[in-house]
């Protein structure tokens, strides 16, 4: 029928991630896997997660491990810490959007948090 294309989601569908230019083809699937723990920001260009540890010491250990990886990867989060809680946001500024580096860093954060141990 004439309106059949209306059923096809436009590339700016509300719930779609906006990726940085020139990303590998497997990135969307890998990024979607993160969305059980991470939230897509309102801009749809960033992912955010809150971690709650059992102490400030563990939160700081986590941030220190992530900071070392940031230095290696030359990729940096927007983040905040309050006592035992850490909030992290990953996005890429140039080219703007979510990139493989954001996804790799988010996966790294999840592995670190698992090793350190989150509050249950």
Q: List contacts with ligand H2B (CB under 6 A).
A: 74-76, 91-94
Q: Shortest gap between Cβ of 75 and ligand H2B (angstroms)?
A: 4
Are the C-beta atoms of residues 75 and 102 closer than 8 Å to each other?
Answer: yes
For ligand H2B, give the closer residue by CB, 26 or 76. Answer: 76
Q: How far apart are CA 14 and CA 73, in angstroms?
A: 30
For ligand H2B, give the closer residue by CB, 92 or 113. Answer: 92
For ligand H2B, give the closer residue by CB, 59 or 98. Answer: 98
Q: Shortest gap between Cβ of 23 and ligand H2B (angstroms)?
A: 13
Helices (H), the chain: 27-34, 56-73, 100-116
Q: Shortest gap between Cβ of 85 and ligand H2B (angstroms)?
A: 21
**Residue 82 preceded by cis peptide, ω within 30:** no
Report the residue number whose CB is nearest to ligand H2B.
Answer: 93
DSSP secondary structure, 42-66, as one string? TTSS-EEEEEE-SSHHHHHHHHHHH
Q: Shortest gap between Cβ of 89 and ligand H2B (angstroms)?
A: 9
For ligand H2B, give the closer residue by CB, 23 or 91. Answer: 91
CA distance from start to end of the chain: 53
């Amino acid at each position: 029928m004439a309106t059949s294309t209306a059923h096809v989601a436009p590339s700016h569908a509300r719930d779609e991630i906006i990726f940085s230019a020139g990303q590998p083809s497997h990135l969307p699937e890998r990024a979607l896997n993160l969305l059980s723990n991470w939230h897509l920001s309102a801009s749809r260009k960033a992912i955010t997660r809150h971690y709650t540890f059992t102490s400030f010491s563990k939160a700081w250990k986590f941030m220190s491990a992530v900071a070392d990886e940031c230095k290696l990867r030359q990729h940096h989060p927007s983040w905040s810490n309050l006592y035992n809680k850490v909030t992290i946001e990953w996005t890429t500024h140039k080219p703007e959007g979510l990139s493989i580096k954001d996804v790799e860093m988010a996966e790294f954060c999840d592995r670190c948090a698992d090793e350190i141990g989150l509050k249950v």
